[in-house]
Each structure stands twice: as structure tokens, then as C-alpha cells.
Structure 1
Amino acid sequence: MTVVPDNTAWYPQDHGALIDNAVKNQAIAAKVLTPVTCAGHTMGFPVLEADPDVSWYAPGAEISLTDPETSELIVTPKAVKGLTKIANESIADSNPATAEVVGRGLARQIVEKIDNALFAASAPANGPQGLPLHTPTTVQVQGGLTALTDEDPFVTAKFTALELGAELSAFVLATDVAMSLATVKVATGDARRLLDSDDEGNLRIAGLPAYVSRHVAAGEAYGLDRSQNYLVIRQGTSVETDRSGAFTSDSTLVRAVMRAEFAITNPAGVVRLVPAGS
């Protein structure tokens, strides 16, 4: 009997890094949150509840000592996993595209799961809590976002966030909102579009990039301060293979595991734009 060793020469070990890079480069979550790597089981983020006090003093006067009011947000990355099977005939063909296709497919699905979780109205089983569950500040838009002819609600969102200690760095639009805003013209009879696009093709609204996600509820949009919100990725994303588990079908199993979580340190500074009456 010939024993075939479970080597992964056909499937590059850096495919774990491929998934990490795909998430950081393709996920909307990584564009509007700050990606950070967690080396341990949990990760803590300091939350400043109140600044230390300052006052005016006479020359040489003793300065009063005040402490900032701080707390800590502790997050534990959750596991998103995928398992697929490849016929050993495909592997034996020594076609390097097989590994690439499988790795990219797993990466795409993990990106989808992370973005879906970020905007989900209820947390997926065993998954992280998304923005709607962190009680963001709501801005109601009369007539709805799909009927807009100007950027005013987004300007309102920026100043609302400022009052709550956040400076918005980006918006995320539902697809129907993006389609509507992309066709708004400067004026009736004028073919020029109201909104510009950046070099990557993203709309710019109220001076900020606006990303589009099909995971945002129809008719809604979000504004976020990237410096206050984080995408926590556990170090050690892995892609592993095993021939024994699919021995009877002459196949190789490929498993991908990534652990991620969202750290929303100032929920009130996240602005959710919704139709009035929602």
C-alpha cells in the first residue's frame, strides 16, 4: 500500500495571508473601520468617557491634578470558517490555478460574511454584533434617501457626529440609495451629475468617500469615524488541507479559518440615516 503524505506543496501556505489581504483590501468593513491585528484571545480598547479638566491659573499657582474618566472595551474575535473539497485529479494535474481559485473563493466568502455581519440587524449565530445593534445615532430623512436632490442630510450627519465626539471619515450606502444619488443632476435640464467620484470610482458625498454595500438595509446609509471603530483580526488566519477526511471520494478537504470582531468604541458617533418614520 502506498501512503500519500498530506503535504501542501500544491496549496501555498501563504493562502492564509491571501485571505487576510482580501479582507483588508476588499471588505467594506476594512475601508470604514481601522483594521488591527490581535495576537491573543481578546483585545482591549481604551474608551475615554471624559477628558481631564483644565483651568486658567495665575503665574506660579499650583495646578490641580485631575484624572481622565476611562473605561475599556474588551472584544473577542469570532471564528468564520469554510470547508470545501477538491478532487485529487485536479491536484494531480499540477495546475497552479486550482489553488488560486479555491483560495480566492474562500477569501470572497469570508469577506461577504464579515460585511454582512457589520450591517446585520441581528447578530449571526456565533458571530459579532453589527452596527445596528450598537445603538447608533439616527438621522431621519424626510422623503427618504432615494428621493434626495441634495447632500443636506449627509451634512447634517457630519455635524451630528461632531457634537457626539466623532468626525465622520466615510459613508456607506445601500445599493438603492447609491443608484439614486449617482443619477442626481446639478439642476433640471443640466446633464452634469451632482456628485463627483474619487479615483477608485466611489461617490463623494459632503466631501467624504461613500462606499456601497448590498448588506446595508434598503433606503439607509451609515456615517462612521474610522479612528473610533476597529476591525479586529486574530493573528493566524489559516488554510489547511487534509486527504484522509475525503479518502473515499479520492479528494482533498480544504479548510479556511479566520477570527474577526468589531470594536465600536463610540457607538453614538456612528450615524445611521434612515427614511423619516422608520
Structure 2
Amino acid sequence: MAAVSHTSTGVATAFTPDDVAALVVQPAIQMSVAMQAATVVPTDSTSLRFPIITDDPSGSWVAEGAEIPVSDAESDEIVVTPSKLATLTVISSELADDGSPEAQQVIGDGIARDVAKKIDAAFFGNTTTNGPSGLLSITGVQTVDTGASITNTDVFADALSKAETVGAVITTFVANPADILTLAKVKKATGSNEPLLGNDPTQPTQRTVLGVPLVPSAAVSAGTIWAIPRDRVFIVLRKDTSIMISEHSHFTSDRVSIRAITRAGFGFPHPGALVRMHDAA
């Protein structure tokens, strides 16, 4: 359950326990590319286990009335323990004492942006000190060599196919904004003004490749495009997100400290379903 504590009447008006999820958690999920591309799993537990099926059960053709051979699925599991992400910000006492929805929104949006940015950086990165390990730390990820430049959708088709060979369906491509800009300028054919990238009519600002959304994230290294199947990638988010407020640490400057604690972890139970597209050279 979300929690909040305070030391002044004005601050207490600015935040209530019911505000925490609406002001921080939900906006952070919307702002985070990683949490949009993956399956977010809220939990009250310290850790969460995800099964890994290493080999499916094997059926047999048998005669009527004959014994059916027993075949067990070979499985393993990964344990995801959400890591602590702490955000500390300082605001003026005047803003803290302003109980208006607009003032709450300003404070909440700032914390949510920071949470989303930190989660994305860890998710698309390698290892994070005191934090969860990201996509670059995984072994067993499939790859597609894009060469020095992408001039058509063939490499995207290759990525979709590689995921399909292991029973996965790519739901999101994620790339650095600079790479998406480059792709946006590529035309379908010489002399054509029709862009290589498509658009989703229901979301005019969203680009698509072969019908799959292509989403920008500065957390992705330039030159890399991730092909992600949402149902094979998990972000575990603890439900006990908290906001604690104190006016003691900055007493001499008449300011208020706001500390937000969020816990998140990543689970990649099927590495082979992920495809990294990059220039292998």
C-alpha cells in the first residue's frame, strides 16, 4: 500500500496516501518506454519467481488402451528481487503549502519523470550498481546484423522471424531517437516521397515498421534497436511506493525535502525471444 508522511499541515494537504499512485506510479508507467514495452507485474512480495521451461513435454503415438509414456517438462526458474530506487528533491515551502491539484501535479510529474528515466536506463543498459541488470547483460539473446545503415525493412523482418522461430511475437521495436530520425528520412524507393516507416492512424505521432510500433528511447545506445515481445519480458514493481516529506533538513532555507522510494526489478525468462539489431562490425 502506498504511504506518505509529513511534518507540516500544508504539506499534508499536498499529499495523501491515495495521491501517491496517481501522482507518481501511474505517470511513471506511462512515461517509461521500458514499462510500456514490457509486462508490468505489481507485487507485495519481496521477490517474485518466473518459471523457465527448458524443454516441453513430449507426446507419443500410442495404441488404444496402451499405457501412455510419462514425459515431464524440464523447467527452471528465475527470481526477481526489486531493487530500491530513491529520489530526493527539494521544493520551496510555498509550493509545498499549495494544496492545489496543479501544485501536486508539478511535484508528482517531476518525481515520475525521474523514476521513468532511471528505470529505462537500467532496463536498456547492462548492469547497474545496486540496481537490476538490463538487456545488455543477458546471454542467449538473438541478434540481427543491420550493417552500417538500414535502407529497407528486411532487417526488421529478420528480427520478427527470429522471434517467431522460438514461438514469440515482437510487439515493440525500441531505438535511439537519432536512429529513428535517420529511418524516418529513408524512402521506400528511389525517387519516392513515401517514407519507409509507417504510421498508426489511431496514433498519428507513433511510427511503425511492418505493423509493429517503433518507439524512441534515449536509454538505448545509438546503433542498437531492440525487438521486444511483451509477454516474455517482465518488470516487477513493488506496490509499496512511498513519498516522505520533511522540512527539517532545509530548515535554514525555508525549503522542503521530498523523498520517493520505488522498488523495481526485471525478469527475462526467455532470452531467445529477444532480438538485438545492430551493426555486428
Q: When the two structures are superposed, what TM-score results if normalisation uses the length of structure 1?
A: 0.91
Instruction: Say if 1:62 and 1:114 are closer, same or farther in 2 by CA, change over 3 A.
Output: same
Counterparts of 1:168 and 1:183 in 2: how far apart (Å)?
24
* Residue 34 of structure 1 pairs with residue 36 of structure 2: no
Provide the C-alpha distance between the structure 1 equivalents of 2:158 and 2:11, rounded to a whole number of angstroms: 57
Counterpart-to-counterpart distance in 2, 1:265 and 1:52 = 18
1:124 to 128, 140, 160: 128
> CA offset at residue 74 of structure 1?
0.3
Question: RMSD between aligned alpha carbons?
Answer: 1.9
Unaligned stretches of 5+ residues in structure 2: 1-6
Q: Which amino acid aligns with 2:174?
A: V
Tell me if the contact between 2:87 and 2:111 (Cα under 8 Å) persists in the aligned partners.
yes
Structural mapping, 1:78-89, within 5 Å: 78-89=83-94
Shift in Å, 1:172: 0.7
The alpha carbon displacement at 1:93 in A equals 5.0
SS at match of 2:249: helix
State which of 146, 152, 155 in structure 2 corresponds to 1:153. Answer: 155
Paired residues for 1:21-100 under 5 Å: 21-100=26-105
C-alpha contact 2:123 2:134 (8 A) present in aligned 1 = yes
| SS of structure 1 residue aligned to 2:123 | helix
Query: 1:206-225 maps to which residues of 2 (within 5 A)?
Result: 206-225=210-229
Q: Matched residues, percent identical?
A: 33
Give the counterpart of 2:263 among 243, 259, 262.
259
What is the CA–CA distance in structure 1 between the aligned matches of 2:131 and 2:191, rounded to whole Å?
49
Q: Are 1:187 and 2:192 an aligned pair?
A: no
Identify the range of structure 1 (4-13 vs 80-89) with the bigger mean alpha-carbon deviation.
Answer: 4-13
Instruction: Give 2:3's aligned residue.
Output: none
Runs of 5+ consecutive residues of structure 1 not aligned to the other structure: none
Q: State how 1:158-177 maps to structure 2 within 5 Å.
A: 158-177=160-179
Rounded to whole Å, the distance in 2 between the matches of 1:7 and 1:179 is 43
Cα displacement (A) at 1:218? 0.7
What SS does the corresponding residue of 1:8 show, helix, strand or coil?
A: helix
Residue 10 of structure 2 contacts residue 98 of structure 2 at CA under 8 Å; is this kept in 1? Answer: no
Matches within 5 A, 1:228-247: 228-247=232-251
Partner Cα distance (2:107, 2:9) in 1: 21
Distance 1:92 1:270, change over 3 A: closer
Alignment CA distance shift 1:4-1:178 (3 Å)? closer
In structure 2, distance between residues paired with 1:208 and 1:92: 46
Shift in Å, 1:224? 1.2
Deviations 1:120-152 (CA, angstroms, capped at 9, x unpaired): 1x322211111010122221122x3xx322100
| TM-score, normalised by the number of residues in structure 2 | 0.90
Tell me by how many angstroms 1:90 deviates: 3.1
Q: Within 1, Cα distance between the matches of 2:67 and 2:265?
A: 45
Whole-angstrom CA distance in 2 between matches of 1:183 and 1:7: 49
Contact 1:134–1:267 (CA<8 Å) still a contact in 2? yes
- Check 1:181–1:49 CA distance in 2 against 1; reply closer, same or farther (3 A cut): same
- Residue 250 of structure 1: aligned partner: 254
Correspondences of 1:129-140 after superposition (within 5 Å): 129-135=133-139, 136-140=141-145
Q: What CA distance in whole angstroms lies between the structure 2 residues aligned with 1:194 and 1:91? A: 49
Once the two structures are TM-superposed, the CA of residue 202 in structure 1 deviates from its matched residue by 2.0
Aligned length: 271
Amino acid at match of 1:58: A
Structure 1 outlier segments of 4+, above 6 Å:
none
Task: Single out whichever of 29-38 and 174-183 deviates more from structure 2.
Answer: 174-183
> Which residue of structure 2 aligns with residue 227 of structure 1?
231
The answer for the alignment partner of 2:120 in structure 1 is 115
What does residue 209 of structure 2 align with? 205
